[in-house]
Amino acid sequence: MLEHLNRAMDHIEDHLDGTVDVSELARIALTSEYHLRRTFSALAGVPLSEYVRRRRLTVAGAEVLAGDRTLLDIAVRYGYGSGEAFARAFRALHGIGPGEARRTGAALQAQPRMSFRLVVEGSSTMQYRIVERDGFRVVGRSARVPLVHEGINPGIAEMIRSIGPGTMARIAALSDQEPSGVISATVLHDPNRAEGSDVDYYHGVVSGAAADALPDDLDVLSLPPGTWAVFANSGEFPQALQELWRDVFTQWFPSNPYRYRPGPELLKVGAAPDGGGAAAELWIPVEKAG
């Protein structure tokens, strides 16, 4: 997979002064657009669209300093409809306007060209299983919160605190399928997984009950039949979970015949058997690659 992903990176470089079509990048990388965006974000630590924007402004910055083209010509060349739009984007990355940068020969920021390689360490293994599931529902309470990549998400913490113990007991009693007990489900609205983007967060249980048999005051997320990759680890929460998610996309997907399919991620967290930290079980929606 990494070989094809690097070919997609070459394609980006060849089209910085034109249209970078994500569907074409996905075709080159032999994957879906959705999986490409998620994998790139996990590997690079930045959304694909943001990387392309930074690369364009990096190359445009070199042309600004060279002085061979007018600023408007450079703006149009790199996809900006006006000199004003180009100047705003240029200043956002470089901290200085293009005209001033050209006059003063200022030092500019640079987004290096990325390529990917697989580092084989062999020092750890990942516990996972593949599960085929019929359709099911996540039942509980939900809220839309901003995505937080590191540390506790304050929006999620506040939402959980707002659920009274009586309501939580009623929700827990509806659990009748794996993963059992109280879980969370996150539905991302931004395929780039950008920090601060909207996430629909559900705190509830998995239930096979018919929709009309569920309490009216609870939120329901209905999921179709599909394949899930289930991963487990333990450690300090939430660091261990965030590291697990990173490892799934940077290690497991590149070396297994599956790709991410659109859908929520499910998470069950409990006390670790040895009493040290938390034990996490992460359910990722997948499909066979190719």
| Residue burial 10-31, b: 16+ Cβ < 10 Å; e: rest | ebbeeebeeebebeebbbbbbb
The burial class, CB within 10 Å (0-12 / 13-18 / 19+), for 100 is middle
Residue 240 has pLDDT above 90, yes or no: no
Q: Is the Cβ–Cβ distance between 228 and 92 less than 8 Å?
A: no
In a domain, 15, yes or no: yes
Residues recorded for the chain: 290
- 195 lies in some domain: yes
- Per the domain annotation, does 25 fall within a domain? yes
Mean pLDDT on 106-121: 73
Neighbours of 54 (CB within 10 A): 17
Q: Is residue 23 part of a domain?
A: yes
| Residue range 36-67, pLDDT digits in tens | 888 888 777 788 999 999 999 999 998 998 88
pTM above 0.75, yes or no: no
pLDDT of 41 reads: 82
* Confidence (pLDDT) at 122: 42
Domain boundary among the residues 52, 73, 104 is at 104
Give the separation between CA 273 and CA 114, rounded to whole angstroms: 41
User: Does 99 share its domain with 162?
Assistant: no
Domain count, the chain: 2
Residues 158 and 250 placed together within one structural domain of the fold: yes
Same domain for 90 and 162, yes or no, is no
Task: List the domain range (segments joined by +) for residue 215.
Answer: 127-288
pLDDT given at position 123: 42
Q: What is the CATH number of the domain that holds 174?
A: 3.20.80.10
Instruction: Give the Å distances, CA to CA, from 23 to 113, 202, 273.
Output: 20, 31, 45
Report yes or no on 115 lying in a domain: no
Q: Which of 104, 138, 153 is the last residue in one of the domains?
A: 104
